[in-house]
Amino acid sequence: MSTPNPLKRLTALGQSVWYDNIHRSMLESGELVRLVERDDLRGVTSNPTIFDKAISSGDQYDAVIADILRRQPGLDAAELFNHLAVADIRDAADVMRPVYEATDKRDGYVSIEVSPHLARNTEGTVAEARRLHAWIDRPNIMIKVPATVEGLPAVETLIGEGISVNVTLLFSVDRYKAVADAFITGLQERARRGLPVEGVASVASFFVSRVDSAVDPQLEGKREDWRGRVAIANAKLAYRHFLDLFDGPRFQELRRLGAQEQRLLWASTGTKNPEYSDVLYVDALIGPRTVNTVPPATYDAYLDHGDPAVRLPDGLDDAAALIRELPALGIDLEAVTDKLEADGVKAFADSFDNLLAGLGDKVRGMDPGGRATG
């Protein structure tokens, strides 16, 4: 008898597995199709770092770049990247379209992020989100918007316009509450205008492992038994708010109108500390009505030795008690999450700039016929 697929078992437990990776070869080789068929994969996420790795390494994009430049020779590096990214996202969305339809528009989404340089620019974020949404022209895409203070009104506006949004770079429970409020307010405004709320989807991407990477050193010599636990406790508190809000009175009317709840999506779930289980942030956060977007190494590890069981709803009071005790240890979790947000925005911006520089180098290394030289 074959061993049950742990990734498929997550789906059976009510958690959707998305893949935190995209590149042209996985589309051309049929790898993405195989992941859907074998593992019941339910979605795909991307970010500037993922595209930087995909486009800057190797030559898998060279032929596509050459073809685009033959047709539009005047493109700068930023717009050339948009053409490459839109093609990948569109093709991935087509692969995921049957999942989108089979799950009644709940899953099957592919996410693309606005430029990280717009993270502090509300109007610029809205404008680029609209442009990408129209350009890709697929119903099952989500535009990723950072959960910065400036990103919150952009989320509300885009949801109000019927554009599905993946709100990313979330680290704190308080900011998550503001994100969920922006989502509901956007839907309420849409309903007030007599527009349908059915099919307007959103996830709140709550980053996990980076919290432990930041807090663990501060626990040394104090509560070392809490190392590897603060990020999970933080995520559990976000989940408790999710349950209170979306099962509470405020969302009832929207649900009656056919609105989807904004699910929590666990991001940054690869284990960074080699002392911990390589599937820690998947196993610990399994719960119904959630998503986990899993990076490739963690995805393979979970397929090999994951241990699926619903654990997320357990110990919510203990999680709250742990978080409450942090100030007594001299740990300011709000300061930690503020820095993680700022560092995350910078890291994505740096990846984006590195990507554009690499694209520029590729273009300069091509002969007029679009072939690599040297």
Residues 8, 53, 105, 144: which is the catalytic one?
144
Instruction: Return the bridge partners of 204, or none.
Output: 167, 264
Start-to-end Cα distance in the chain: 53
Structure tokens at 164: 């599905």
Nearest to 52 by CA among 361, 274, 356, 287: 356
Nearest to 263 by CA among 157, 101, 154, 142: 142
Task: Identify whether 339 is a catalytic site residue.
Answer: no
Name the E strands within the chain: 15-19, 43-44, 109-113, 141-146, 165-170, 202-207, 263-267, 290-294
**Taking each helix axis from N to C terminus, what angle separates 230-246 and 209-219, rounded to the nearest 10 degrees?**
130
Q: What are phi and psi of 215, to 5 degrees?
A: -90, -35
Active site residues: 144
